[in-house]
Amino acid sequence: MSSTDRYGVSRVIIANMNLTMGKRSVEVGRFKIDSYTYIRRMTPERRLDQLEPLMADALQKIDRLIEGQGKLIDMVTRADQNATNAAARADYAAERADHAAERADYAAERTDYVAGRADYAAEKADYAAERADYAAKMTDTTAKGVANLTVSMQKQFDELRTGQETIMNYLREKLP
């Protein structure tokens, strides 16, 4: 009866456990053991010999479970720290993005101001160009007027000279 199950536990040990847990009879292989025979034949030393491997196996499994739980707690703690760090990094990135947005808004305002100043300068340049065109027209008009006046004065002066010469000739003839 030394056969084992798929976990390597002896069937006799399993039968002993089942009998101590209150079952009336247990089949081990082709043998059937009832609780009366089991209890009557079992001495405290034999019982201890059979329970020690079970206890050692159970304690080993409990130790593995505790170790696994510790690893899980470590993983959860690290995950929580990573999440906290990621949240802090995200907050910092959000602050940086807000700061960049403020800087972009300020740059846009400055650009708008400079564009307004450029528009104003363009308007002033257009006004100056209009004034220069007007001054050029006025200069042309004045130059034409002066030229016409000069021609007119020259004509009048010539007429006046001619008239003066005529008067002088007349006076020379009449006066001895």
- 98 with 164, same domain: the answer is yes
pTM, rounded to two decimals: 0.39
Cα–Cα separations (whole angstroms), residue 16 to 20, 23, 85: 6, 10, 54
d(CA 86, CA 80): 10
- 35 with 107, same domain: the answer is no
* Beta-bridge mates of residue 4: 10
Q: Which domain holds residue 161?
A: 43-174
- 66 with 143, same domain: the answer is yes
Long-range pairs, 91-95, Cβ under 8 A, ≥24: none
Question: What is the count of structural domains for the chain?
Answer: 2
CB 5 within 8 A of CB 18: no
Q: What is the pLDDT of residues 38-88, one digit of tens each?
A: 444 556 666 666 677 777 888 888 888 888 888 888 888 888 899 999 999
- 55 with 134, same domain: the answer is yes
Q: What is the pLDDT of residues 154-176, one digit of tens each?
A: 888 888 889 888 888 888 888 76
